[in-house]
Each structure stands twice: as structure tokens, then as C-alpha cells.
């Protein structure tokens, strides 16, 4: 049985977005040349011009600047939130952080969770996608069953569930993940 045309376009849009994010992560030399594909129902994917980052807001680390600008571009697209989350996870898979940056990501997601901020503003796409990116990078770089990886898995899952509106922040699924996160934090504190 053939799939309806709209599902083929949706799959194509996801594939193009993922390929674009991998290209961004590989490091285009001129940020002005970067474009992120977007898709709308029944239309062919089109490129969205990147939003330049003012020099005062630019990160001094070029690698950091590339993932931050890529996430900013993804957040500004008109694609559904689930596709944005998929694109950020693809970006995270191809990203290699320094050891110091990985430790910063770990501390930052724990801080966002303990402060109660990480699910407080699901409408702030860029914030949610940055948190999703950081948790996905941690998951990729800690293949063993370390406590911080377990924490990042639940943190990322909750971030994605709330951002894509699959679950509310007070849903049973999110609360269950948070109970595991609390237990993991207790383990991390004991070490």
C-alpha cells in the first residue's frame, strides 16, 4: 500500500532538516551561508535565512557559537515542535564537546532542574531546545550507565514531552521521570 503524499513530504522535510543540522555542526565557514530547511503542510521544503548574531552576543568559542546559532535557527523555523526536537537531537549526535564543556552541560542541566526552571516556559522554544541539546550531548558522550547519563535521559525526555506538548509538566509520565531524577541526584550527591 502506498503512503499518502503528505507523509512522504513530512519524512523528506525531517531528512532535509537533519542533513542541514549535520552540515551546520560540521562547521560552515561563513554563518551567513547557513540555511535551515523548513516545511509546511503540502508545500516543498524551503530554506530560511539565518538570523545573524550581533557581535556583542556572539560566544567566544566558535564551536559553541555554531551549535547555539543552529539551535536559534531551528527554534525560529515554522516546523512543528517535534521536528525541531528531532533536528536538535541530530545536531547533538554529531557534536563533540570539550571535556570542560561537557562538565558545564552536566552542571547546567542539574541546576535548571533543581531551580525548577527547565519546564517552566515551554513556549520559549530556544530555551527548551538548548536544554534538549545539552541532555542529548551528555547521553551521547556517556555510553555507560553513569548516574549523570540516567539523569540526562529523564531530563531530556521530560523536556521533549513538554516542549512537543505530548504531556503537560504535571502529567504522570513527567512526574515519574522527575521521581527518578530526584533519586539519581541523591546518588550523584553521595559520590
Write the CB contacts of 146 (distance below 8 Å, at least 6 apart in sequence): none
When the pLDDT of each residue in the chain is averaged and rounded to a whole number, the result is: 77
Domains of the chain by residue range: 5-93, 99-190
Confirm if 165 and 123 have CB atoms less than 8 A apart.
no
More confident residue, 33 or 103: 103
Q: What SS3 class is residue 17? A: helix
pLDDT higher than 90, residue 177: yes
pLDDT higher than 50, residue 135: yes
pLDDT in tens, 72-93: 999 999 999 999 999 999 999 9
Band the pLDDT of 33: cuts 50, 70, 90.
very low
- Residue with C-alpha cell 547546567? 108
pLDDT in tens, 150-161: 999 999 999 999
pLDDT higher than 90, residue 38: no
Band the pLDDT of 131: cuts 50, 70, 90.
very high
pLDDT in tens, 45-76: 444 444 444 433 444 444 556 899 999 999 99
pLDDT higher than 50, residue 186: yes
Tell me the whole-structure pTM to 2 decimals: 0.66
pLDDT attached to residue 187? 86
Amino acid at each position: 500500500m502506498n503512503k499518502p503524499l503528505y507523509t512522504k513530504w513530512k519524512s523528506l522535510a525531517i531528512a532535509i532538516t537533519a542533513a542541514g543540522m549535520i552540515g551546520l555542526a560540521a562547521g560552515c565557514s561563513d554563518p551567513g551561508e547557513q540555511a535551515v530547511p523548513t516545511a509546511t503542510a503540502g508545500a516543498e521544503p524551503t530554506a530560511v535565512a539565518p538570523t545573524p548574531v550581533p557581535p556583542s552576543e556572539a560566544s567566544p568559542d566558535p564551536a559553541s557559537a555554531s551549535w547555539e546559532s543552529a539551535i536559534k535557527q531551528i527554534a525560529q523555523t515554522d516546523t512543528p515542535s517535534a521536528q525541531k526536537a528531532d533536528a536538535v537531537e541530530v545536531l547533538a549526535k554529531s557534536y563533540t564537546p570539550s571535556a570542560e564543556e561537557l562538565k558545564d552541560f552536566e552542571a547546567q542541566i542539574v541546576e535548571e532542574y533543581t531551580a525548577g526552571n527547565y519546564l517552566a516556559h515551554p513556549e520559549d522554544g530556544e530555551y527548551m531546545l538548548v536544554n534538549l541539546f545539552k541532555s542529548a550531548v551528555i547521553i551521547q558522550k556517556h555510553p555507560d550507565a553513569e548516574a549523570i547519563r540516567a539523569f540526562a535521559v529523564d531530563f531530556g525526555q521530560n523536556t521533549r514531552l513538554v516542549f512537543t506538548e505530548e504531556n503537560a509538566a504535571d502529567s504522570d509520565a513527567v512526574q515519574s521521570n522527575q521521581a527518578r531524577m530526584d533519586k539519581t541526584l541523591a546518588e550523584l550527591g553521595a559520590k
